[in-house]
Amino acid sequence: MDFGFKLSPSSAINLDKVDLSRFEKLHGIEPDIIKCMACGSCTSSCPANRFSGMSLRKVILDLQRGREKEALGMLRNCMLCGKCTMVCPRGINTRHLILSICRIYGEDGK
Partner 1 sequence: MKENIVIIGGGIAGLEAAAQLLSLGYKPIIIEKSDHLGGHVAEWNCLFPDMTPARDIVSSLAARSADANIFLNTEISFVNKLKDSYNIMLSNGISIITKIILVTTGFSVFDAAKKEEYGYGVYDQVITNRDLEHWFNTGEDKRVNDCGMNAVGFVHCVGSRDEKARNPQCSKVCCITAVKQAIELKQKFPDAMVYCFYMDLRMFGKKYEDFYISAQRDYGVRFIRGRVSEVSENIDGRVIVKAEDTLSGKPVKVTLDLLVLMAGMVCSPDSTRVANMARLPVDSDGFLKSEDNVADIISSPKEGVFYAGACTGPKTVPETLAEARAAALKVHLYIKGLE
Partner 2 sequence: MRERFLTGYNDFVLPFVCGMIFVLAYCIIGMTRIILQLPAQDRKRFFISLVTPKTFFKNVKDIFLKCLIHVDLWKRNKLLGYMHSSIAFGWFMLILVGHIEVFLYTSNLGAKALYYPIFFRYFVAETESTMKGSLIFFLMDFFLLVVLSGIALAIIKRVRSRLFGMRRTTNPSFLDLVGLYSLWAIFPLRLLAESFTADISGGSFLTKSLNYVFTEFLSNHANMLPAWWAYSCALGIFFFVLPFSRYMHIPTEILLIPLRNAGIRIVNARKGLAKAQVYSCPSCGLCIDACPMVVLKGNIRDTTVYLNRQIRRNNEARIEEISDKCLLCGKCTAVCPVGVEGDKLRIAQRSVRKYSYSPDYSNISAEKEAMMCNKFVTAPNNEVSSADNEKVLYFAGCMTALTPVIRKTTESVLEKAGVEYEIMDKDGGLCCGRPLLMAGRQDQARQLVEKNTEIIMASGADTLLLSCPICYRIFRENYTLPGIEVIHHTEYFERLVLSGRLRMRRDNTKYVYHDPCELGRGCGVYEQPRNVIASAGVLVEAARNRKESICCGGSLGSLTLGFDKRKAMTENAISNLMAGSPDRIVTACPLCMSTFSRYSDRPVEDIAQVVDRTSEAGKL
Q: Which does 70 bind (CB under 5 to 8 A by kind): partner 2, partner 1, none?
A: none
C-alpha distances in angstroms, 31 versus 19, 23, 26, 79, 91? 19, 11, 8, 23, 12
Nearer to partner 2, 70 or 93 (CB): 93
Helix %, strand %, coil % of the chain (to 5): 50, 0, 50
Nearer to partner 1, 20 or 32 (CB): 32
Nearer to partner 1, 31 or 109 (CB): 31
User: Closest separation between CB of residue 7 and partner 1, Å?
Assistant: 26
Q: Which does 67 bind (CB under 5 to 8 A by kind): partner 2, partner 1, none?
A: none
Please say whether the beta carbons of 71 and 63 come within 8 A. Answer: yes
